[in-house]
Structure 1
Amino acid sequence: MKRLRYFMAAAMFTIGLNATAQCSFHNDAFKSGEFLSYNLYYNWQFVWVKAGTASMYTVQSNYKGKQAYRASLTTRGNSKVDNMFVLRDTLLCYSSLDMEPLYFRKGAREGKRYTVDEVFYSYSGGKSNISQHRINNDGEHSWEKHSFSYCVYDMLNIFLRARSFNPEGWKNGYDIDIPIADGNSVNPAKLRYLGKEKIKADNGKKYRCLRLAYMEKDGNRYKHIVDFYVSDDQNHIPVRLDMFLKFGSAKAFLVGMKGIRNPITALVN
């Protein structure tokens, strides 16, 4: 379920925004105190089984003395799935109140491996500067530094930012490129809009959703990683995710939400 925390993002905005604009953006989708929870399901030998839970919490905090949003995303597999694949992930990010990425950390235990990725952001000289840190499964540390003339994101900061994008005017098959950083690389990725569908969540309610596909570049082609369905309203809450994993397939369904900023107009009968 590695890809669950990657992508809950939507876009109608050129991510290659010139860094002289300091990569700022508006936020009209969430507020401090938002809490989202999910049930995870895993397809095991053609049977869908409850695999665990996930939750995301966003709160206004501070980063290096400045006001910022802090978001954390946690995924937990249950004991039944531990026999097949151990999943213990915790992600953390800081974003300025103007949605500039400031910091990202991912601690991931997947199977027998445990790794830590960090990305530190700064903006100067018309550049987006990142310092990347990885601790591999053997405890070895690696560091890299890079500067770009465009904005760079990680899997969690792009989620915060993309929820405020305006989907009006999207057409089926519309693509947008996204550069995503982790502890030792910056990789091309893209989102593709695939229309609207009605989706039933695990809270028993049904929502009108935008369907989007997240793809990562693999060689000369893009590999389909996840389809996700976000509420077709100003909140853009992820309601369901269909994940295509190396070890099978998985789904996540919304269970509960608290502290939502805007009216939930995507709710249908």
Structure 2
Amino acid sequence: MPLSSSVIKCTKTLLVFLLLYCAFGNNASAQCLEKNFAFEAGEKLTYRGYYNWGFIWVAAGEVQLSVEQSKYKEKDAYKFYGTGKNLKAFDWFFHLRDTLTAYTERENLRPLYFDRRTHEAKYNAHHEYWFNYADSTILSKIQKREKPEKLDTLANKPCTFDILSVAYYVRNLDFSKYKKGDKIPLSMLVDNEIHSLYIRYKGVEVIKTKSGERFECLKFSPLLVKGTMFKGGEDMTVWLSNDDNRIPIQVEAKVLVGSVKGILDSYEGLRNSKNSFFKKRKGKLEIEE
């Protein structure tokens, strides 16, 4: 595979794997979240994406994630917004702009609506999902390329998340009750299908910045769905800050050809910055690449 095609492959998967990092939860109870302590409206995270070609990591794209206070059908809600794009240097070859929007209930982060718009060169797709808890169903509407819209109704399961809202739910989990090697179950909606997945907790590991400073991260590997991007299995590793912010710091994953990596580049609007490692970083975090 040529280098240019490999870089584009990385860019196409960057937004997905940065969100799938958190693809786990405890679905044993319908009350999925007791309290949100990790984030608040106004938070914005930016990531750099890289593709590994032999011994070289090549810059490929950027992902941004943000949180807003909003309303959905007159109910208090969070609006989560994610964008993924390739670097402008590659626009002449392959133009990529993906956007994801999710609305959730404010108190327990249960998904209410999810929208994914994919624009990759000449390929366009639009996925929409409406969560109805009165009858435990999910209504979907999907259109790919110029084909007619497809409508479907799925049977929902307790604590099922889309690939964006789950990123914020997982940051509020109590990791202290898990041991190294534990599998934590998840119910997640991906491409009009609800998947029963898990993540394997790998304990605490230290991450080092370019300046030599070190800080603790929670480390884990989710079970991936086999498809056009991943081989399946546990070929992804995630590092989440071991403080009250629980921010994804770094993600690495093997793809069908090579591997990709996402690294936190900048942040703002953190809920718990006063007594955390992020206080003195002034919005930038230079992790070793």
CA RMSD of the aligned region, Å? 2.9
**Structure 1 match to 2:240:** 230
How far did residue 246 of structure 1 move? 2.9
TM-score (norm 2): 0.80
Whole-Å separation in 1 of the counterparts to 2:173 and 2:22 = 9
**Structure 1 match to 2:74:** 65
**Contact 1:203 / 1:254 at 8 angstroms: preserved in 2?**
no
Per the alignment, in what secondary structure is the counterpart of residue 160 of structure 1? helix
What residue ranges of structure 1 are gaps of 5+ in the alignment?
none
**Contact 1:32 / 1:58 at 8 angstroms: preserved in 2?**
yes
**Structure 2 match to 1:78:** 87
Identity of aligned residues (%): 28
How has the CA–CA distance of structure 1 residues 197 and 150 changed in structure 2, closer, same or farther, with 3 Å as cutoff? same
How far did residue 62 of structure 1 move? 0.8
Establish whether residue 117 from structure 1 lines up as the match of residue 130 from structure 2: no
Establish whether residue 9 from structure 1 lines up as the match of residue 22 from structure 2: yes
How far did residue 46 of structure 1 move? 3.8
**Structure 2 match to 1:154:** 162
Whole-Å separation in 2 of the counterparts to 1:49 and 1:238 = 21
Whole-Å separation in 1 of the counterparts to 2:38 and 2:88 = 35
Instruction: Count residues in correspondence.
Output: 262
Whole-Å separation in 2 of the counterparts to 1:80 and 1:194 = 37
**Structure 2 match to 1:100:** 110
Question: Where is the strand percentage greater, Structure 1 or Structure 2?
Answer: 1
**Contact 1:119 / 1:131 at 8 angstroms: preserved in 2?**
yes
Establish whether residue 186 from structure 1 lines up as the match of residue 194 from structure 2: yes
How far did residue 201 of structure 1 move? 5.5
Question: Where is the helix percentage greater, Structure 1 or Structure 2?
Answer: 2
Tell me the alpha carbon deviations over residues 165-190 of structure 1, each in whole angstroms, 9 at most, x when there is no partner: 01113211111121211342222322
How far did residue 252 of structure 1 move? 1.1
**Contact 1:213 / 1:226 at 8 angstroms: preserved in 2?**
yes
**Contact 1:232 / 1:266 at 8 angstroms: preserved in 2?**
no
Whole-Å separation in 2 of the counterparts to 1:103 and 1:205 = 40
Whole-Å separation in 2 of the counterparts to 1:266 and 1:256 = 14
Aligned with 2:61 (options 47, 52, 67) = 52
**Contact 2:77 / 2:103 at 8 angstroms: preserved in 1?**
yes
Worse-superposed segment, 139-148 or 199-208: 199-208
How far did residue 85 of structure 1 move? 5.9
